[in-house]
């Protein structure tokens, strides 16, 4: 279910479901497997985003699983979220308040 989604936000016409993982260990493919199930229940076209702290990492199999997903899933670090989501400065400010308070 969608309780694993930390931030559900629409920016510039695109809906993002953001899952924050404050982990020091590598994020594995099971996170993407779970997220795939969640994204299936959400509005079609929702972009999934998994965010780690800057020192966090995604395992090779996690990256592979995300690339092979039927959903659009972006894997990113906290400092790069706005760049990787390709959003502008105004939208960045909108998202930043959520990331700072909810993520990490």
How many CB atoms neighbour CB 29 within 10 A? Answer: 17
- Rounded distance, CA 36 to CA 55, Å? 24
98 vs 44 pLDDT, higher one: 44
Give domain limits for the chain.
2-98
Judged against a pLDDT cut of 70, whether residue 98 lies above it is answered with: no
Nearest to residue 70, comparing CAs of 46, 54, 90?
Answer: 46
Strand 14-20 to 7-11 pairing: antiparallel
Give CATH for domain 2-98: 3.40.1350.10
pTM of the predicted model as reported, rounded to 2 decimal places: 0.85
22-60 pLDDT, tens digit each: 888 899 999 999 999 999 999 999 999 999 988 889 999
**CA angle 96-18-26, nearest 5°?**
105
Order of all β-strands in the sheet with 7-11 = 7-11, 14-20, 47-52, 73-77
What digits encode the pLDDT tens for the residues 65-94?
999 999 999 999 888 887 787 766 666 666
């Amino acid at each position: 279910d969608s309780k694993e989604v930390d931030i559900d936000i629409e920016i510039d016409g695109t809906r993002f479901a953001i899952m924050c993982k404050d982990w020091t260990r590598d994020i594995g493919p099971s996170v993407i497997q779970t997220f795939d199930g969640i994204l299936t229940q959400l509005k079609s076209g929702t972009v999934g985003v998994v965010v780690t702290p800057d020192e966090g990492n995604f395992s090779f199999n996690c990256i592979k699983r995300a690339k092979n997903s039927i959903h659009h899933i972006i894997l990113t670090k906290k400092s790069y979220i706005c760049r990787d989501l390709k959003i502008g400065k105004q939208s960045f400010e909108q998202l930043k308040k959520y990331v700072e308070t909810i993520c990490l």
